[in-house]
A and B are shown apart, each in its own frame.
Chain A
């Protein structure tokens, strides 16, 4: 079930959107090796946009995105690999759990269709169990608490055996204790799978607790990168 991580993710992208005062431009270049890389900065700096571009949910104007030897996007060569073939697990800020499916249904959704149905369900059940939410298996998302929903979304993201994990402010809606608990769980899961992980946050404590590396962003640019020590003085 585990997949050894390939090389990291290479990101080099630029885009601009809007006009006049609403104009927003993004120009970033960085790498995401196995482990957790934090994309840190205030709201509106382009962190989520960067994540969406990596996932192929929006198209950059220029640049290149590659994973290992595989090119996902290359503006010069007009190459664009569809989102569904990139092997990215994306944890959305809103979680985006399918409201009409049970936890098992949600988690099974990303497991390859070539896997037999019973096997898919068994894998999903095992992941829910591992994340401590096995009791939600047959229940739909509107009955979950905030923390439970996070765990089901995390199980769904991991069930597809991703090559890269993208987390968009994953714990923003949680209280402090739950945040600490889930942060520790995610760290353990990422290190166990050696997954290149890019996590967006504007929460200093979360960045410090989770990050192996930090990319500090401001106004669509990476202004500083290094260990979590670079966050000192930005409280």
Chain B
């Protein structure tokens, strides 16, 4: 499969397995993943466009504040993974809280151990998958370390890469605090 053909299956994995795995146990989470390979402003620098981006807006049940996290996923097709891809994901990390490299691997194209080492040392997350269409065939080998992008960078990223409807939804949830009162709603 070509890289662009992998976006949709990886998007399904992020929706069905990855985003739920970062959901607070008792709290609330709104998450949305979009293909951002071609989104963004031209001329704003090299390696600033993760192939997929996930935004999660979440809060714990007994915590008063909402948090926003940005995740980027750099997807590589079979046989196209290299150390350069790690640096690409690392560079994207300056705009994100978490940066992941997602690699399609099989028996003929196994994971190069140097890639895994490099991901670990740079705090880049590493995901491999053998069957892209089966979300249960994905392995999170390395968890990404949390980066500290500036608030302006976060605003810029969301403003320039996510769809207008997503941005409106995020704004609305921030305004309302994303509280769904269980008592009043069950009446």
Say if A and B assemble together. Answer: no
Question: Measuring CB to CB, which residues of chain B are less than 8 angstroms from any residue of chain A?
Answer: none
Question: Measuring CB to CB, which residues of chain A are less than 8 angstroms from any residue of chain B?
Answer: none
